[in-house]
Amino acid sequence: MAVGRSPETDHRSPVTPMPYAELHCRSYFSFLAGATAPEELVARAHQLGYRALAITDIDGVYGCAQGHFAAKDLGLRFIVGSELTVRDDLSPLTCDGQWSGQRLVLLAANQRGYANLCKLLTIGRTRVGKGSSWVSWDEASSMSEGLYALSGGSDGPLDAAWRRQAPDRALEWARRLKDAFGKRAYVELTHHLAPGDDQRIIAMSQLARTVGLERIVSQDARFGSPVDKRIYDVQTCIREKCTLAEAGRLLDFNSERYLHSAAEITAHFDAFPDALANTTRLIEHFEFSLEELRYRFPDYPLPSNETPFSHLHQLTYQGARQRYQPMSPRAAAQLAHELAIIEKLDLAGYFLIVYDIVRFCRRESILCQGRGSAANSAVCYSLGITAVDPVKMELLFERFLSEERDEMPDIDLDIASDRREEVIQYVYRRFGKERVSLACNVISYHARSAIRDIGKVFGLSLEQVDRAAKAMDRYFSDPSPQGVPTNHFYRPAPDDEVLDSQSRARLRHETGLDPADPRVRQVFAMTRAFEGFPRHLGIHPGGMVIAAGPMHEAVPIENATMEQRTVVQWDKDDLKSMGLIKIDLLGLGMLTAIDKAFDLLRRHQGTDLDMARLPQGDRHVYDMICEGDTVGVFQIESRAQMNMLPRLRPRTFYDLVIEVAIIRPGPIQGDMIHPYLRRRNG
């Protein structure tokens, strides 16, 4: 520890490092209050030889899924936790006269603890508007089972009370912690070589002894490496709406809130060996892993003496008899093959739920259509989820569902946009509001949005920021390599690393910003570092997650900006990786148009059509398509498609499939279009 340390310690011989685990660390999913990605934190912890790492973002477990899988890959123990904002009469008042929240670190020790943590986060997040959260002390203490509580470091109630020179409050908080969590409550000892840290760590240590709480060492880390402090400072300025020059002491005193090596920590806290030992001992109590996440898809209400599979089997063949008239041996074989895989993967319930939604749409005359890889399934075709016969079209079922791929199937439903809300409300009614939630969409910084915020932080004028933002797409259009997070450690790159000389000259000409100016260079370098950083949560366009039990026991739920909408704290990728099934209910305006067209045909020509019985070989339609006369025609209305149509000259539905598939970034960049056209034209 730093107390009484002499300058000699800088030169002392290295101490033997004790094993260490970090139990209090924020990732960039603390939204402008943490500067490093969960994967990078995990990688650094692994590199430093930590025994375990807990990611404890503010009022959420947003980064836990990513952290969990990164840790799993590296063989590092990962602990799920969060900094929970607790508001109470012991909390100090804000300048608005409200109780200000203080943050306790809660760590899930077991399944019950994880469910309680999610429940507390859900209570806090859904109580107030988007972006805020708090729970009362009574709520936190009543759901303490399975949770370990740390005093919260510098944002925690003990440190805050000590800073405010209110030792009685610090004592009261410590007693409360002990009463509620018993031996599962710990006082965190942190030291960041900042003024007052020596006194504070002694005070916290004495407080723990007075109340009879154990002490642990934590770093209360906000970033992985010292250079990330710069990102953290910029985040602080964005959060506090000030420039770096104005921020002054709002910024941290130094860069010490990073993950130190075990040797450094051992040297740092050598006066508290018991606390160091407690830290590593404590991790043995955490038996919960996100692998054990108890998520179950909801049960479909079945007729008596039916299993989900038997019922699906029956419904599939009922539907197939209508779709395939007569049923060909190929179709029968395909259905049998698909049903066998579905049974093997125990996915009958999922198909039944989707069928239930489609049936509702049909009953309510809402035009709805399965899209994407689900069209490769004859079962989906038979159930009426899709309208394309995969047998006839010779589509590959394994693209949709495969035994080899450890993935859940993904059925997306397009619904007439003007009636999508009815379907969503039906899902809420059918499965219960607490079991259904929308998936979130993590809105990340892109170059343009990043430079707007960062430019202001560096003191650029609004006009300069605006011009720079408009220029960003041209200068920073190269995406980061796939799979590599763009939030690599910030470093003040030389300007030639950020922009080549030609780009620098153009930038100067177009924006008036001099790339040689150190401030401008810093802005651009920081912008690059910020790309991919989460900024806030949005709502996924249509992804609904449905659970058999209360959703908040699997993942915390929070309010979305849109009224009466809640989202889970994981986005579609996290949901997928955690095995939570999402059904996409997407609004599509073209379906509304088709629905109206069907109605007109019915009324004026007496023709009753549906999507599956649309005639597919109308010569006049293909003539128009070949001329590129496709304004407003779904999928082939873009300029690129309209340019391609006269060259490809589709005459069958399959030609259209090719047309849609080939005008994509991959085939275009792979220069596949002209070879295909040449081959097609002989």
CB nearer other proteins, residue 220 or residue 571: 220
2 near other proteins, rule: CB under 8 A: yes
Smallest distance, other proteins to C-beta of residue 248, A: 3
Smallest distance, other proteins to C-beta of residue 8, A: 4
Contact 53, 67 (CB under 8 A): yes
81 near other proteins, rule: CB under 8 A: no
6 near other proteins, rule: CB under 8 A: yes
Smallest distance, other proteins to C-beta of residue 447, A: 20
CB nearer other proteins, residue 83 or residue 595: 83
- Kindly write out the interface string for residues 124-153 of this chain, putting x where it contacts other proteins by CB under 8 A and - elsewhere: -----------------------------x
196 near other proteins, rule: CB under 8 A: yes
Number of residues near other proteins (by CB under 8 A): 52
Chain residues 255-294 in contact with other proteins, contact rule CB under 8 A: 255-256
Question: In whole angstroms, what is the distance from residue 210 CA to residue 520 CA?
Answer: 53
323 near other proteins, rule: CB under 8 A: no
- Provide CB contacts within 8 A for 387, sequence distance 6+: 369, 370, 381, 610, 611, 612
Ramachandran area for residue 391 (φ above 0: left; ψ -120 to 50: alpha; else beta): alpha
- Determine the straight-line distance between the first and last CA of the chain, rounded to whole angstroms: 79
Judged by DSSP in three states, 39 sits in helix
Which of 35-43, 63-71, 240-248, 401-409 is the region at the interface with other proteins (rule: CB under 8 A)?
240-248
Smallest distance, other proteins to C-beta of residue 504, A: 20
Smallest distance, other proteins to C-beta of residue 4, A: 6
Judged by DSSP in three states, 444 sits in strand
Q: Which of 47, 142, 199, 210 binds other proteins (CB under 8 A)?
A: 199
The answer to whether the bond into 326 is cis (omega within 30° of 0) is: yes
518 near other proteins, rule: CB under 8 A: yes
Q: Which of 131, 163, 314, 462 binds other proteins (CB under 8 A)?
A: 163
3 near other proteins, rule: CB under 8 A: yes
- Provide CB contacts within 8 A for 329, sequence distance 6+: none
Contact 415, 368 (CB under 8 A): yes
Which of 129-137, 300-308, 518-526, 641-649 is the region at the interface with other proteins (rule: CB under 8 A)?
518-526
Question: In whole angstroms, what is the distance from residue 61 CA to residue 207 CA?
Answer: 30
Question: What is the SS3 assignment for 148-179?
Answer: EEECCHHHCHHHHHHHCCCHHHHHHHHHHHHH
Structural tokens at position 212: 């009879």
Smallest distance, other proteins to C-beta of residue 239, A: 9
Phi, psi of 338 (to 5 degrees): -65, -45
Question: In whole angstroms, what is the distance from residue 102 CA to residue 155 CA?
Answer: 6
Chain residues 448-477 in contact with other proteins, contact rule CB under 8 A: 458
8 near other proteins, rule: CB under 8 A: yes
173 near other proteins, rule: CB under 8 A: no
Q: Which of 177, 125, 139 is closest to 156 using CA atoms?
A: 177
CB nearer other proteins, residue 94 or residue 365: 94
CB nearer other proteins, residue 247 or residue 302: 247
Smallest distance, other proteins to C-beta of residue 235, A: 14
Q: Which of 83, 197, 453, 558 binds other proteins (CB under 8 A)?
A: 197
DSSP for 390-436 reads TTTTT--GGGT--SSS------EEEEEGGGHHHHHHHHHHHH-GGGE
5 near other proteins, rule: CB under 8 A: yes
Question: In whole angstroms, what is the distance from residue 259 CA to residue 45 CA?
Answer: 7
Smallest distance, other proteins to C-beta of residue 98, A: 11
Smallest distance, other proteins to C-beta of residue 25, A: 15
10 near other proteins, rule: CB under 8 A: yes
516 near other proteins, rule: CB under 8 A: no
Report the relative pairing of strands 77-87 and 102-108 from DSSP bridges: antiparallel
Smallest distance, other proteins to C-beta of residue 201, A: 12
**Amino acid occupying residue 216:** I
Contact 101, 134 (CB under 8 A): yes
Which of 73-81, 195-203, 426-434, 666-674 is the region at the interface with other proteins (rule: CB under 8 A)?
195-203
Contact 55, 64 (CB under 8 A): yes
Smallest distance, other proteins to C-beta of residue 165, A: 11
Smallest distance, other proteins to C-beta of residue 16, A: 20
- Crossing angle of helices 639-648 and 619-626, in 10° steps, is 110
Block residue for tokens 């041209």 = 474
DSSP for 368-389 reads EEEEGGGGG-HHHHHHTS--S-
Question: In whole angstroms, what is the distance from residue 569 CA to residue 114 CA?
Answer: 14
92 near other proteins, rule: CB under 8 A: yes
Q: Which of 139, 252, 270, 418 binds other proteins (CB under 8 A)?
A: 252
Chain residues 210-229 in contact with other proteins, contact rule CB under 8 A: 220, 229
CB nearer other proteins, residue 236 or residue 641: 236
Smallest distance, other proteins to C-beta of residue 514, A: 16
563-566 contacts, C-beta under 8 A, 24 or more apart: 565/438, 565/539, 566/126, 566/437, 566/438
Which of 45-53, 155-163, 307-315, 620-628 is the region at the interface with other proteins (rule: CB under 8 A)?
155-163
- Interface with other proteins (CB under 8 A): 2-12, 92, 94-95, 100, 153-155, 159-160, 163-164, 192-200, 220, 229-230, 233, 240, 244, 246-256, 458, 518-519, 522
